[in-house]
Amino acid sequence: MAEKFWANSALEPKRKHRWLLYLGGTDIPAYVIKTAGKPAFSVNAAEHMFFGHKFYYPGVVTWEPIDITLVDPVDPFVGKELYRTLTRGGYREPSVTEDGAPFTMSKRDSVGALNGQLRIQQLGANNSEIETFKLWNPWIQAIKFGDLDYTSDDMVEITITVQYDYATIH
C-alpha cells in the first residue's frame, strides 16, 4: 500500500513566500518586490470540420504577461529607476528629440534595458533552489505608479507588467 503523503515528514509543498526575483538591468532591491506572477501559457485550438464533425488540434502557444508588484519606498527612488528603464528602452519625451527626428522604441533596446534577464527562483525550506523560471526577451509593457488616497495609510505600490517571448523552467 502506498504511503500517505501526510505521514511523510520529508515531503513539503512549495510555499508562496519563498522566492526571489531577479530583474536584470535595474537597481531595484529585492526587498521592495512584494508579489510576482509566475509564467503562464495557453494553447489555442485549431478547429477542423470533417463530414459534420468537429475535431480540434493544438495550435499556437501564447505566453501571458506577468505582473510584479513593488512597494514604492522614498529611498531608493524606484519610480525614477523604472522611468530610466523606459528611456533605456528607447522612449523619448515629445520635447526631447535630436534635431527634431522622431524616436520609436525597439524590441532590442527594450529587452536590453532589462539586460534580457528576468528570473523567478522558488526556494525550499533551507533556501535551496527548487525551481527557476527564466523569461526570454522580457520587456516592460506597462507600469502603474499606484494610487493616492487620503483615507488610507497603506503603502504606495507600483505594478509592472512584463511581456516576454517564452519561459523555461529548471
| 44 contact partners, CB below 8 Å, separation of at least 6 | 59, 60, 62
> Between residues 92 and 42, which one has the greater pLDDT?
42
Does the pLDDT at position 37 exceed 80? yes
Q: Does residue 152 lie within any of the structural domains?
A: yes
Q: Does residue 4 lie within any of the structural domains?
A: no
CATH number where 125 lies: 2.30.110
Average pLDDT score, the chain: 90
**What is the per-residue pLDDT for 74?**
86
Q: Which domain holds residue 68?
A: 13-46+54-169
Q: Does residue 147 lie within any of the structural domains?
A: yes
Q: Does residue 27 lie within any of the structural domains?
A: yes
Q: Does residue 8 lie within any of the structural domains?
A: no
Would you say how long the chain is, in residues? 170
Q: Provide DSSP, 76-119.
A: TTHHHHHHHHHHHTT---TT--STT------HHHHHHHTTT-EE
pLDDT tens-digit series, residues 59-113: 999 999 999 999 998 888 898 999 999 989 988 877 666 666 667 789 999 999 9
Domains held by the chain: number: 1
Query: Can you count the helices (H) and strands (E) in the chain?
Result: 2, 10
β-partners of residue 135 are: 167
Closest CA to 160 of 113, 124, 106, 123: 113
Q: Does residue 137 lie within any of the structural domains?
A: yes
- Of the chain, the percentage scoring pLDDT greater than 90 comes to 64
pTM of the predicted protein model: 0.85
What confidence category does residue 16 fall into, taking pLDDT thresholds of 50, 70 and 90? very high
Q: Does residue 115 lie within any of the structural domains?
A: yes
